[in-house]
């Protein structure tokens, strides 16, 4: 990777960042943000310095929400909220606001984050684990039928894409009239999604949208306004819905970056175009893994994620050697999650196809030298 000129300075070319989050952002977004850092438009100030109550910032906010609604085709009977606290705060907000009729909720456990959400909900009501893939280290999505769910459950919760283990729901569980709640942190905006099939969608932005700090919540309006009496004011969806996400100071700069990402996605053709690119990238990597004599994917083929691809060599020593040599070659943050080891290539929207192709070339070379 050669140095390149930008802004009158010579900088080293960027590495290929396969981090699961915070992850890489589109270069176009970063360059726009850099150009606007000292002065946004004709305001004479950085977005970082703006009052969130100013008309200038409100315009940034409104445009971001409008573009997200357009990209995801979000119906008018859903609120779009830009909150704080990461997806982990939603593990409490969801039961506080939705476990309010029968005090029951069903959870499908497909990984660490789904399990954390389940355990948090169990603090506030009767949370039930309907199905789990823990028996095979979360390497598949458990199949469920409508009758598996408690008809008295106030909602059913899933983690749609499992960042650590590399699994993805390609077919949603049939929950009947029970609202479906999904954590989409690591797959938001990677492909089209039918928002109408969900009661709540939530996502931390640091994987596919923006820097850490903002959490996007898309919630059906009829599910807002019935929070438990013990719900803290800041954890009540109504607090934020009634105040346009401005009850307190929002993560202003992260929302601004999210808005730039939404514009970038629209420019490349929206989520249908993004899906095609992501499918191409994933196919390049999975095809190599399926034919490799050294590397092996860890997920059953039918449940593979387009975003997170875990793989191993079968040797802890070789895994460590690969991670070290990959870093020297410009492929960073490819080490697997601390709970599972091995390697993981997170190939989110901003990862160019070229980056995946070069990673595969490097893997082929490593295999030739170490198999």
Residues involved in catalysis: 113, 183, 207
CA distance 208 to 203: 9
**123 conformational bin, left if phi > 0, alpha if psi -120 to 50, beta if neither:** alpha
The sign of the dihedral angle between the CA atoms of 231, 235, 238, 242 is positive
Burial class (CB in 10 A: 0-12, 13-18, 19+), 257: buried
End-to-end CA, the chain? 27
Contacts of 291 (CB under 8 A, 6+ apart): none
What's the Rg (C-alpha) of the chain?
A: 21
CA distance 327 to 330: 5
CA distance 275 to 190: 6
Neighbours of 86 (CB within 10 A): 18
Instruction: Give the CA-trace dihedral at 123, 97, 51, 33, to 10 degrees.
Output: 80
CA distance 72 to 23: 21
């Amino acid at each position: 990777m050669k140095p390149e000129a930008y802004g009158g300075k010579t900088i080293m070319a960027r590495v290929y960042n396969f981090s699961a989050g915070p992850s890489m952002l589109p270069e176009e977004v970063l360059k726009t943000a850099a150009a606007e850092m000292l002065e946004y438009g004709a305001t004479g100030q950085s977005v970082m310095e703006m009052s969130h109550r100013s008309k200038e910032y409100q315009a940034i906010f409104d445009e971001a929400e409008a573009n997200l609604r357009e990209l995801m085709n979000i119906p008018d009977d859903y609120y779009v909220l830009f909150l704080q606290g990461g997806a982990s705060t939603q593990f409490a907000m969801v039961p506080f606001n939705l476990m309010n009729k029968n005090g029951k909720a069903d959870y499908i456990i497909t990984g660490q984050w789904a399990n954390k959400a389940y355990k948090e909900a169990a603090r506030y009501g009767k949370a039930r684990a309907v199905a789990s893939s823990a028996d095979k280290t979360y390497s598949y999505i458990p199949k469920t039928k409508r009758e598996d769910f408690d008809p008295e459950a106030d909602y059913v919760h899933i983690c749609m894409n499992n960042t650590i283990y590399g699994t993805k729901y390609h077919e949603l569980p049939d929950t009947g009239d029970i609202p479906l709640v999904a954590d989409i942190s690591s797959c938001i905006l990677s492909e089209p999604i039918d928002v109408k099939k969900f009661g709540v969608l939530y996502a931390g932005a640091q994987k596919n949208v923006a820097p850490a700090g903002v959490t996007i919540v898309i919630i059906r309006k009829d599910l807002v306004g019935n929070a438990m009496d013990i719900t803290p004011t800041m954890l009540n969806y109504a607090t934020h819905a009634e105040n346009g996400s401005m009850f307190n100071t929002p993560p202003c700069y992260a929302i601004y970056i999210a808005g730039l990402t939404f514009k970038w996605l629209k420019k490349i053709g929206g989520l249908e175009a993004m899906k095609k690119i992501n499918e191409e990238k994933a196919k390049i990597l999975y095809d190599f893994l399926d034919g490799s004599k050294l590397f092996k994917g860890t997920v059953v083929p039918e449940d593979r994620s387009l975003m997170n691809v875990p793989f191993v060599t079968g040797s802890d020593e070789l895994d460590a050697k690969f991670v070290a040599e990959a870093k020297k070659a410009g492929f960073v943050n490819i080490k697997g999650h601390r709970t599972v080891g091995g390697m993981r290539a997170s190939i989110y929207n901003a990862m160019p196809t070229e980056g995946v192709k070069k990673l595969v070339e490097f893997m082929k070379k490593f295999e030739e030298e170490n198999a």
